Structure 1
Amino acid sequence: MTTISCGIDFGTSNSSIAIDNNGEIGLVPVEQAHVTIPSAIFFRSIDNRAFYGRTAVNMFLDRQPGRFMRSLKRVLGTSLMKQGTVVNGASMNFPTIIASFIKQLKDKADAAAGQEIEQVVMGRPVHFVDNDPAADSRAQDELRAIAQRIGFKHIEFQFEPIAAAFAHEAKLTEDKLAIVVDLGGGTSDFTVIRLSKNSIHKADRSSDILASTGVRIGGNDFDKELSLAAIMPELGYRSTYGAKNLEVPLKQYHDLAEWSKVNFLYTPKLIMQTRQLLHESHDKKRYGRLLHVLEHETGHTLLAASEETKIALTDEYEHKAAFDFIEDDFSILIKRDLFEKAIEEEVEKIAASARQCLQDAGVRREAIDLVILTGGSTEVHSIQVAFRQLFPNAAIADENKLSSVGLGLAYDSQNRFGKINKSAGTAPSAIA
């Protein structure tokens, strides 16, 4: 039997898995016919059964009782991995939660392959955690342990932007000097790499990779800044209370605007404090909306509206966001100009990381032949403008934004594990 390997793109927002099946590289359907799945879990309260992806999102939005989680990748390397959380009244650690999500990807791939897959290349950002090498190393070790836990025997890692480059290289007809712009939900990563059809069989590509940089800013940060600028003020953000006109506490607003922190807000202590503060609030109508969100645990619904608005503003100049889950006929008209102003600082940090990548590679921006855009956040208008201005003479490749990393990881697994398969008596696969 041919030994099959795979590549797993465990993303902050979306995930995918692709397999090398006897030389055929392909994405595995992971949710009905979809080859990508939102990185979301819903634990149903009646039995604590886990549901994943779009099913999880829909169950939560339908207000079914349970615990909803997103952006789990951002927990890797942080103290939360050891602290754990409470799920429907029971303590659960994050390695168990993340393993549950990644295992259901592996199960789909095992079924598609007709065998248990033991060889994997896991994608990873250039930096799991900015400016903290120890936390970054710890995050990779945690992800490796999770991969072992769910049954993988041979585990390698590859930077996600490099994997995206491999996916595009398979279709090239001539050599290119490329920069990969990989903007995910949690990180933005860049790689300058030489691409060639003659290189796709090479197991060692270190001489072709000129530089990699990354920053821990992504689409979730855009959601947060949009929420703080346009939505949270309608929930009393920066309003005042009491005789001394003090500003209301801001931490809960910032946590409410971040996917990975929402679930920690629904505590009796915070809800009691918010109720008490409401009596002294100078804007009881708006601040009362915050209390409603906390009492009814609709923070994720709030963030989903922010994300939906971000996506809508890709094509629209203004969007009317509905918040009738807070109060009847409550909506906010949000304009693209406000969104772009809110994320100016994040966009500049992303562009600065790309410029640093060019500097580290020792190449001028005019030398770049191809800009590979991957990750859903590359569709944001400000990002499109920034990178087309930065590389006005380069061709833009932006197909398969959500799946190119998974495909590239499978191509990489083919090259890395070919020798293992050969030594075990299995002929190495040829790239299709």
Structure 2
Amino acid sequence: MTNISCGIDFGTSNSSIAIANDGQISLVPVEQAQVTIPSAIFFRRTDNKAFYGRLAIGMFLDRQDGRFMRSLKRVLGTSLMKQGTLVNGASMNFSTIVTSFLQHIRDKADTVAGQEIDNVVMGRPVHFVDNNPQADSQAQAELHAIAQRIGFKNIEFQFEPIAAAFAHEARLSSEKLAIVADLGGGTSDFTVIKLASQYIHKADRSEDILANTGIRVGGNDFDKELSLAAIMPEIGYRSTYGDKRLEVPLKPFHDLAEWSKVNFLYTPKIIQQVRQLLHQSHDKARYRRLLQVLEDETGHTLLSAAEGTKIALTAENEHKAPMDFIETGFFIPVQRAVFEEAIAEEVEKISLSARECVQLAGVSNDDINLVILTGGSTEVKSIQTELRRLFPKAAIADENKLSSVGLGLAYDSQYKFGSSSQPKPATR
């Protein structure tokens, strides 16, 4: 058998897998011709069959009957992994759910390779869980066990921002001191690393990696803050009820603004509570919309509208968020300035992590020659503005934002599992 290895980027929002085969690095088409797949799964109610990625999202948005889940990576290292969740009326362990998704993309790679691939480098954030080393170790152990379950025999891990650096290195003409900004759906990670094309064959890169930092803040948090600031008020958030003019309970709105919590809201108890408060509401028109969302189970559609608004605001100064799934002709105008104000605290946390990484590396901001952007959240204008402010002398590299980690993990698998061939430029 050919010595083939692979790298898997299991992302909060999107995932990819790339193969290293005789020095050739290539991304695997994981959904038709697409080399990235949304980390989403839909279990059809009639037979509990699983569907993945864009197909899963489409089936859910088409209101097909079943159970939809996204942001599965955020469950790793938390108590939810053991608790499980209801899927079409039956309890299912989150480990089983994540296994199903990763088996799907592993099967795609085996088909392309023409054999079962034994060797894998799994990507991981610098911190799965902030300020909790035990939970962080638990998250990696859970992912390792899942990789074993889907058939990998030799499993290594690499920090995702380091993998992104490896993906860019082959094209460099001279040595660069780079900072990698890997901003995904769930985490923001930074690495300061020395890169050069002649380093690409080195098996041990520890002396080139000067520092790593990371925080559990990402695009999903942007979606949440945008939703709470601009969308939730139009469905009754922070409205009042009763003679004492008390604020309505905020927890349902906060849960509606997080992908991993939406499905826990559709219970008879919660819906009944909202119905009771509606009678005493001082803003029945808006608060009734919350009841509508819960009764129709359209929380994920609401979040998709928030995510779509975030994406649209990278190019537009104002976007009309479509809400016609709640009321015919209903939309919410959202300005970019409102979005940027809503995420200002998150952007500052991300900036602080970048500054900490440079400090730990023992270099200055002006020493950085190259900023490598990877992950969809680097598209956000205020993030780009902040990184350019921090590193004014650096060039910006932002190709293959959604697939560079997967490519880099495959490069790393080549180093870790060995081959007589030096890696050749990646195919995309």
TM-score by length of 1: 0.98
Counterpart Cα distance in 2 of 1:237 and 1:22: 57
Equivalent in the alignment of 1:358 = 358
Counterpart Cα distance in 2 of 1:203 and 1:142: 27
How far 1:171 moved relative to its partner? 1.1
Can you give the 5+ residue segments of structure 1 that lack an aligned partner in the other structure?
Answer: 419-426
One-letter amino acid of the counterpart of residue 352, structure 1: L
In the TM superposition, structure 1's runs of 4+ consecutive aligned residues that sit over 3 Å from their partners are none
One-letter amino acid of the counterpart of residue 157, structure 1: F
Can you give the 5+ residue segments of structure 2 that lack an aligned partner in the other structure?
Answer: none
Counterpart Cα distance in 1 of 2:318 and 2:124: 35
How far 1:239 moved relative to its partner? 0.4
Counterpart Cα distance in 1 of 2:90 and 2:342: 38
Equivalent in the alignment of 1:300 = 300
Aligned pairs (5 A) from 1:220-369: 220-369=220-369
Equivalent in the alignment of 2:422 = 430
Task: Note the alpha carbon deviations across 1:79-137, whole angstroms, 9 max, x for none.
Answer: 00000000001110000000000011100000000000010000000000000000000
Q: Secondary structure at the match of 1:321?
A: strand
1:413 aligns with 2:374: no
TM-score by length of 2: 0.98
Counterpart Cα distance in 1 of 2:413 and 2:44: 35
Counterpart Cα distance in 2 of 1:430 and 1:104: 29
How far 1:9 moved relative to its partner? 0.1
One-letter amino acid of the counterpart of residue 263, structure 1: N
Equivalent in the alignment of 2:42 = 42
Aligned pairs (5 A) from 1:386-405: 386-405=386-405
Task: Note the alpha carbon deviations across 1:125-171, whole angstroms, 9 max, x for none.
Answer: 00000000000000000000000000000000000000000000011
Task: Note the alpha carbon deviations across 1:363-412, whole angstroms, 9 max, x for none.
Answer: 00000000000000000010010001111110000000000000000000
One-letter amino acid of the counterpart of residue 132, structure 2: D
1:99 aligns with 2:74: no
Counterpart Cα distance in 2 of 1:252 and 1:225: 15
Equivalent in the alignment of 1:212 = 212
- Name whichever of 9-18 and 319-328 sits farther off: 319-328
How far 1:271 moved relative to its partner? 0.6
One-letter amino acid of the counterpart of residue 152, structure 2: F
Counterpart Cα distance in 2 of 1:428 and 1:17: 22
Counterpart Cα distance in 2 of 1:201 and 1:260: 40
Once superposed, what is the RMSD of the aligned Cα atoms? 0.6
Counterpart Cα distance in 1 of 2:221 and 2:209: 28
Counterpart Cα distance in 1 of 2:181 and 2:65: 39
Aligned identity (percent) is 77
Equivalent in the alignment of 1:422 = none
Equivalent in the alignment of 1:116 = 116
Aligned residues: 424
Counterpart Cα distance in 1 of 2:93 and 2:420: 39
How far 1:428 moved relative to its partner? 3.1
Counterpart Cα distance in 2 of 1:284 and 1:119: 58
Q: Secondary structure at the match of 1:147?
A: helix
How far 1:430 moved relative to its partner? 2.0
Equivalent in the alignment of 1:61 = 61
Counterpart Cα distance in 1 of 2:420 and 2:244: 74
Counterpart Cα distance in 2 of 1:220 and 1:192: 25
Equivalent in the alignment of 1:16 = 16
Counterpart Cα distance in 1 of 2:25 and 2:217: 30
How far 1:306 moved relative to its partner? 0.3
Equivalent in the alignment of 1:424 = none
Counterpart Cα distance in 2 of 1:218 and 1:397: 20
